[in-house]
A = this chain, B = another copy of it.
Amino acid sequence: MIGVALRKTQGNLNFILYFCSVFYFKTNTFSTMSLITVGTMAFDAIETPFGKVDKIVGGSATYVAYAACNFITPVQQISIVGYDFPEAEMKSLQSRGVQTEGVERVKDKKSFFWSGKYHIDMNTRDTLVTDLNVLEDFNPIVPDSYQGSEFLLLGNLMPKLQLSVINQLKKRPRLIVMDTMNFWMDVALDDLKVVLKKVDVLLVNDGEARQLSGEVSLVKAAKAIMAMGPKYLIIKKGEHGALLFHENSVFFAPALPLEEVFDPTGAGDTFAGGFTGYLAKVKDISFDSMKTAIIVGSAMASFCVEKFGPERLKEINADDITARINEFVQLVNFDIDLIG
C-alpha cells in the first residue's frame, strides 16, 4: 500500500509513513499518556437482515476500549457489570492494555441488556428490550490511579453520570469528548445541556443534531449546538460519512463503501474510541489533527460493522488498520498532476 501511496500527494504519503510509525513506535510510547473512558459494558441481542445473535458482549465502553487500545494505552475503563459478565472478556481487554480497576462488579445483579432489530437499510433500528439491571444503581467512581489523565471520552451514558466523572477529576483533562444519543435528549435534556457546557467535542448523528438544535440544515444545526458549549462538533451520517465542524470550518470524511454492513451495533462507539485514541496518541488536538482522527475513527468503525459485536475489532492488527486507512486515502484523494 505504501507503493500506491508514493504516487499520491505528499500529504498522503506522509500520512501513510507517519501512520506506520504509530505502530512501529507503539511499544515505546505505551506509558506516556492515558485515556479515561466511561460507558456501559453489557450484553446485546441483535437481529440484522444478515443474521441474529441472542446474547453477545456489547456496551459503549466495550467498543470504545477495543478501538482506542490500538492507539493509546492504558485505556482506563469506568463501567459496571453484573455477576454474569464473562471474566474472559475482562481478561481480553486487560491483555490489550485496558485497565478495569474502575469497573464495578455487582454480585447479585445481571449486566445491562439491550436487544434491537435493524431494518433492511441498516440505518434505522427498533429497540426491542432494555433491561437496565446493574445500570439502575450505577455510580461511577474514578479510581485515584486514573487521576491526571489528559484525555477523557464520555461514552454514551446517562448525562448525570457523565457529569459526575468530569466533576471527580482533580485536573481538567486537555480534551473532553462526549458521545450521546437521542434517548437522552428525550428523557434528560436539561442534564445533557449541563454536560455540553463542559466538553470540547460532541459526537451525535444527523438526526440527533437536528433534534438537539431544532434546525433541519446541518450547517445551521452545527452553529446552534456549538453555541451550547462544545467547540468542536462531529455529526455522524452512518453510511454517508461524518462532518467535523469548528468555528467556521468544516471537514468531511466519507464512510468506506462496503459490500455488506453486517452489524452496525457499536460502530458509533468504535468511531469515538478510534477518534479519541488517535488524538491521545499524537497529543495534537488541533483541527487538522482532528481531521485525521475522524478518518481513523471511520476506519475503525468500518471494521466494527463487518461482524456481530466487537468480534472483528478483536481480530485486527496494526497492519490491517494501516491498510484500511489507506483505502480511505484512495477514496477521497484526487490527484491532479496528470491533468493540464
The answer, yes or no, to whether A94 is at the interface (CB within 8 Å) is: no
Checking B220, B241, B243, B284 against A338 with a beta-carbon cut-off of 8 angstroms, the contacting residue is: B284
The answer, yes or no, to whether A181 is at the interface (CB within 8 Å) is: no
**Chain A stretch 216-240: residues in CB contact (< 8 A) with chain B:** 216-220, 237, 240
**Chain A stretch 251-269: residues in CB contact (< 8 A) with chain B:** 251-254, 257-260
A11-B9, A219-B258, A282-B340 as given contacts; A252 in contact with B332, CB under 8 Å: yes
The answer, yes or no, to whether A127 is at the interface (CB within 8 Å) is: no
- CB of A21 within 8 A of CB of B340, answer yes
Interface size of A as a range: 35 or more
Residues of B within 8 A of A339 (CB): 18, 282, 284, 288-289, 292
The answer, yes or no, to whether A54 is at the interface (CB within 8 Å) is: no
Residues of B within 8 A of A252 (CB): 241, 254, 257, 331-332
The answer, yes or no, to whether A120 is at the interface (CB within 8 Å) is: yes
- CB of A18 within 8 A of CB of B288, answer no
Residues of B within 8 A of A332 (CB): 251-252, 332
Question: For the complex, what is the distance from the CA of A249 to the CA of B11, rounded to whole Å?
Answer: 21
- CB of A217 within 8 A of CB of B289, answer no
- CB of A257 within 8 A of CB of B218, answer yes
What's the nearest-Cβ distance from chain B to residue A72, in Å? 15
Question: For the complex, what is the distance from the CA of A243 to the CA of B255, rounded to whole Å?
Answer: 11
Q: Which 8 A-B pairs have the closest CB atoms?
A: A9-B11, A9-B9, A15-B336, A18-B340, A240-B240, A291-B334, A252-B254, A219-B259
